[in-house]
Structure 1
Amino acid sequence: MDSTRRRADAADNRARIIQAARAAIADADEIKLNGIAKQAGVGQGTLYRHFPTREDLLVEVYREDVGELVAAAPALLAEHDPLTALARWFDRVVEYARIKRGVFAAIEASVWRDLSAHSLGPIGDALTLLLDAGKGGGVIRSDADARDVILLLGYLTRLEQDEWDARARHLLDVILDGLRPRADLA
């Protein structure tokens, strides 16, 4: 097998491992690496070559999710009006927060502080892009900023698993309603 094919196979294996880990985080209370390797269709040696520790794998899942969330903001604005784009971005935040909740529960405190620092800047930038577009269109109140929304979104990580489906999207609707302009603030 030539080196280009080996690199492509390695990249495919890595992507399948991350996808299997993402599913395991969302669906299980305990994250077992042997189960992730099996679900990804790779051996444990392959998993450990890509991710020497459980934390390494969880960190990569988290980083990829942050990247996807950030990239979604301009793409959504290109397809939708600002308020709809923000609402659709919030839909993605629900899934991101479910993964984040699982990752933070599984990673040591010192590692999650580094992850938070990594994500708040890019997520804040993406959120500012969405909020500014809404402010420019008159559909987002002028006194709201990304930090306000990030603080409110942080409460998603406090939801218990058994109340997730009933409350997560409802809370985002409450946040979205609170971001709309009010006559008494105009």
Structure 2
Amino acid sequence: MMGAVNPRRSDTRRNHERILAVAAESLSCSAELSFNAIAKKAGVGIGTVYRHFPTSEALILAVYQRELGHLVDVVPHLLAEHPPQDAFKLWTTEYLARYIMTKRGLAEAMMAATKSPGPLSTNTYEALVGAVATLVDANMAAGTVRDDLNPVTVLRGLGGLFSLSPAEQWQKHAADLTDLLWRGMRRN
């Protein structure tokens, strides 16, 4: 039977994904993880959590990579469903800003788990530059932005989102920052 999925492997994948989802939710509130609490909420045994992620650092890194993947992978879907300028604004305000505001615990946990710059920080930067480049290229092709835009410069401009505070009206401030950046990007 070619192509059949072993039921045990599909259970393993489901458990893996449930553990990551629960850990991501937990890390949105705090930088600390409780493997017991994650196992209980994911509906798996503590041994299952440890088989997938032998250390809290391994789990934090996996959650981070998963979340970053979602942030980058949504770009083609936004471009397929919206005009390029709307896709850029939606990605910035609804995905990037929300990610920054709701993943504070994950950011703290990542700093603790990766004490020095290395391949992870380089991969993160490259993934974000790639996502921004895709959005900028689509807007250039649509004629909505200047032809001389550099995605790295745009990403640096978006760095202002990191100064937003969840205690304030971050959605409004994110929209205002995006609008300001867009005005500098658009074709005159």
TM-score normalised by the chain length of structure 2: 0.81
Would the alpha carbon gap of residues 161 and 177 (structure 1) be closer, same or farther in structure 2, given more than 3 Å must change?
closer
Is the contact between residue 20 and residue 63 of structure 2 (CA under 8 Å) also seen in structure 1? yes
Structure number with higher relative contact order (C-alpha < 8 Å, ≥ 6 residues apart): 2
Q: 1:110 aligns with which of 115, 121, 145?
A: 115
The amino acid of 2:104's aligned partner reads R
Q: 1:87 aligns with which of 83, 86, 89?
A: 89
Equivalent residue, structure 1, for 2:25: 23
Q: Distance in 1 between matches of 2:135 and 2:158?
A: 15
Would the alpha carbon gap of residues 177 and 135 (structure 1) be closer, same or farther in structure 2, given more than 3 Å must change?
farther
Is the contact between residue 20 and residue 62 of structure 2 (CA under 8 Å) also seen in structure 1? yes
Q: Distance in 1 between matches of 2:182 and 2:154?
A: 9
Query: After superposition, what is the alpha-carbon deviation per residue over 1:32-86, rounded to whole angstroms, capped at 9, x for unaligned?
Result: 2221121111111110100011111111111112222222112211111111111
Structure 1 vs Structure 2: percent identity of aligned residues? 35
- Higher mean alpha-carbon deviation, 143-152 vs 37-46, is at 143-152
Q: Distance in 1 between matches of 2:124 and 2:49?
A: 25
SS of the counterpart of 1:23? helix
Query: After superposition, what is the alpha-carbon deviation per residue over 1:142-161, rounded to whole angstroms, capped at 9, x for unaligned?
Result: 44322123223334444444
Is the contact between residue 76 and residue 89 of structure 1 (CA under 8 Å) also seen in structure 2? yes
* 1:1-186 pair list within 5 angstroms: 4-28=6-30, 30-90=32-92, 91-98=94-101, 100-106=103-109, 107-110=112-115, 113-163=118-168, 166-168=169-171, 170-180=173-183, 186=188
Q: Distance in 2 between matches of 1:37 and 1:154?
A: 35
- Structure 1: runs of 5+ lacking an equivalent: none
- Structure 2: runs of 5+ lacking an equivalent: none
Would the alpha carbon gap of residues 28 and 102 (structure 1) be closer, same or farther in structure 2, given more than 3 Å must change?
closer
Query: After superposition, what is the alpha-carbon deviation per residue over 1:92-124, rounded to whole angstroms, capped at 9, x for unaligned?
Result: 112332455322311334366432211211221
RMSD (CA atoms) = 2.6
User: Where does structure 1 differ by over 6 angstroms across 4 or more consecutive aligned residues?
Assistant: none
TM-score normalised by the chain length of structure 1: 0.82
